[in-house]
Chains A and B, each alone.
Chain A
Amino acid sequence: MTRLSWLATAGAAGAAVVVAVAIFGPLVAPYNPDAVNFNLVLAPPLSPHHLLGTDQLGRDVASRMLYGARTTLEAGIASTLLGSVVGLPIGVLAGYFRGPLDMLLMRLVDVMLAFPFLLLAVGLAAISQPTLWNAVLALGVAQVPQIARIARGAALERRDLEFVQAAVVNGERNLTIMRRQILPGVLRPVVVQTTVAIPSSIVGAAILSFLGLGVQPPTADWGAMLAQAETYLYQAPWLGIFPGVAIFLTALCFNLLGDGVTQALDPRRRR
């Protein structure tokens, strides 16, 4: 075992803890995250009954952190999965059929690339309303081009291999060939990209909530909590510390995990 895979294991463990918090957090949260208490506003951390203090409405910060883990993680992971589920078939079709279809699909992908996730989120918020799912949609769609390009590259490479040619000569149906012969070679780089993309999606989801383009108050979410904390940065800096540390550590763990997966699955980057 090398030093890096030790780090990757630590990352995986940390990521598992965060996922566990997202799943079970609401069960152990001491308070209702939306319960306001105007008698105990902006209580500092380590106050009696409020380990991480309370916010400007007297809501328990620890409880909101636990509930917020679910929202933040859901948005980050769901958007990455959306990007992969849409991008993978586009890339495989383009790489397998080549020619005009490849040209058409790749131009479409180029157009998608011209709208970074923030612009998509802004557009969606303008057309309808800023919601968590619009943020997920924007983050997901923005990831389609990258996945599609990677899948296309792998499919193109795979298409020239002899056993794929043999299947073509055998007269097997295109769909069968794509599923049986092409897909296995495409999955590996796509999985690598997906793992690498999750931390930036989590941060992206937090950014959108922070800017008011995602989760709306009073829903507990790390990014949204930071948006409110900005107003109270002088009186209650802890409101801005805890959610930020949580996002940072989550992204860090998933980044370490992503590095490890890349190292293990991507033969080009193996040393």
Chain B
Amino acid sequence: MLWSIARRALIALVTLLLATVVVFGAVHALPGGPATALSADSTNPAALAATMHRYGFDQPLPVQYGRWLGEVVRGQFGTSPITDIPVATQLAQRIPITLELALLSLLFAVLLGVPAGVLAAVRPGGLTDAAASAAALGGLSVPHFWFGMLLILVFAVHLHVLPSGGFTPLSGGVASAGANLDHMVLPVVVLGAGLAAVLMRQTRAAMAEALGADYVRTARAKGLRERRVIWVHALRNSLVVVVTVIGLQLGGLIAGIVTVEEVFDIPGVGQLTLDSVYQRDYPTLQGVILLTATAYIVVNLLTDILYTLLNPRIRVTGSAA
């Protein structure tokens, strides 16, 4: 099993390197060439020459790539020509905000989607199943940004119970934590709903299969309480699904984060991404794209490893070998 994890990690590393080649190629395809694009002040010949020299853009291509990669690996993405702030500093400010949004949404989705899927699978065709399935279909079909606009319309414009957007950083006090969470409620519901829908459907399918399996029949025959059979025996094997779904939904989650941050005006990495496209702020854009691709590959690797650890079939073959 250790070998299989090492192999996956190696593949992820190769993928990551290839991804940097793609970004490097894209930087070269930018209008005006890489030095103009990545310079903090492209109208100043001295700044241009400095960027040229720093990334080695006057060298042969493979040398250029090596120099550039060296800078990038150390988090040296340059300085934004728009804000004059180093890209690394901006990223450091925004990553915690996006992480909070992502993790809270994930938590919300798991707490909503998994129990709904279990309840639906216990009595297929029943009222709970019909309601949960319909809700999931709705959650799957509704565009994040529109759902967000509707929630703003209802809870912020009409009912005035929640803020329509913005973000309050945590500064230690209870009041700041409350304000922080107030701002997170609607975005988390929007982002979590889509994910909960997929989770519900997959959990339902996995539970339906598990409930028909021999070991569940055995558990029942032993006289175990039905509740224990469902929530402990059957669900445990269905939890692998959660990990798989999160891995598969990652791309959608990233798109969701960007749109939700835009709709609710949350100053996270997603908003930084959009701003840097609108303003043609290439150093920042390079930073966020590399960061997102890396996060994507790493989370994929982690779900892969978790999957190996959770799936008893893979685990048993691994230890027998």
Using a CB–CB distance below 8 Å, which chain A residues touch chain B? 3, 107-108, 110-111, 113-119, 122-123, 125-127, 130, 142, 199-200, 203-204, 206-207, 210-213, 223, 226, 229-230, 233-234, 237, 240, 243-244, 247-249, 251-252, 255-256, 269
Knowing A207-B259, A233-B149, the reply to whether A115 touches B143 (Cβ < 8 A) is: no
Knowing A115-B293, A117-B251, A126-B285, the reply to whether A255 touches B149 (Cβ < 8 A) is: no
Structural contact, A125 and B149, CB atoms closer than 8 A: no
Q: Is the interface of A mostly helix, strand, loop or mixed?
A: helix
Structural contact, B141 and A248, CB atoms closer than 8 A: yes
CA distance A113 to B304 in the complex (A): 14
Q: Which A residues touch B170, using CB under 8 A? A: none
Using a CB–CB distance below 8 Å, which chain B residues touch chain A? 11, 14-16, 18-19, 22, 26, 29-31, 125, 137-138, 140-146, 149-150, 152-153, 157, 205, 250-252, 254-255, 258-259, 262-263, 273-274, 277-278, 280, 282, 285, 289, 292-293, 296-297, 300
A-B interface, 9 closest residue pairs, ranked by CB to CB distance from nearest: A116-B251, A244-B146, A251-B141, A118-B255, A252-B141, A111-B18, A110-B15, A114-B19, A114-B293
Besides A126-B277, A248-B142, 5 other A-B contacts (C-beta < 8 A):
A111-B19, A116-B255, A126-B282, A211-B259, A233-B152
Knowing A117-B251, A125-B277, A207-B259, the reply to whether A240 touches B143 (Cβ < 8 A) is: no
Q: Which A residues touch B31, using CB under 8 A? A: 127
Picked from B138, B150, B289, the residue with its CB within 8 Å of the CB of A123 is B289
CA distance A125 to B258 in the complex (A): 15
Structural contact, A234 and B296, CB atoms closer than 8 A: no
Residue of B nearest to A11 (CB): B137
Residue of A nearest to B137 (CB): A255
CA distance A69 to B300 in the complex (A): 35
CB distance from B208 to the nearest CB of A (A): 8
CB distance from B210 to the nearest CB of A (A): 14
Q: What would be 21 A-B contacts, judged by CB atoms less than 8 Å apart?
A: A110-B15, A113-B296, A114-B296, A114-B297, A115-B19, A116-B250, A116-B254, A117-B251, A119-B254, A123-B26, A126-B26, A142-B251, A206-B143, A210-B259, A211-B262, A244-B143, A244-B146, A244-B149, A247-B143, A251-B142, A251-B143
Structural contact, A207 and B143, CB atoms closer than 8 A: yes
CB distance from B196 to the nearest CB of A (A): 15
Among A123, A126, A229, A248, residue most surrounded by chain B Cβ atoms (within 10 Å): A126
CA distance A142 to B263 in the complex (A): 24
Knowing A111-B22, A252-B137, the reply to whether A117 touches B143 (Cβ < 8 A) is: no
Among A203, A230, A244, residue most surrounded by chain B Cβ atoms (within 10 Å): A203
Structural contact, B138 and A230, CB atoms closer than 8 A: no
Structural contact, A256 and B15, CB atoms closer than 8 A: no
Structural contact, A230 and B297, CB atoms closer than 8 A: no
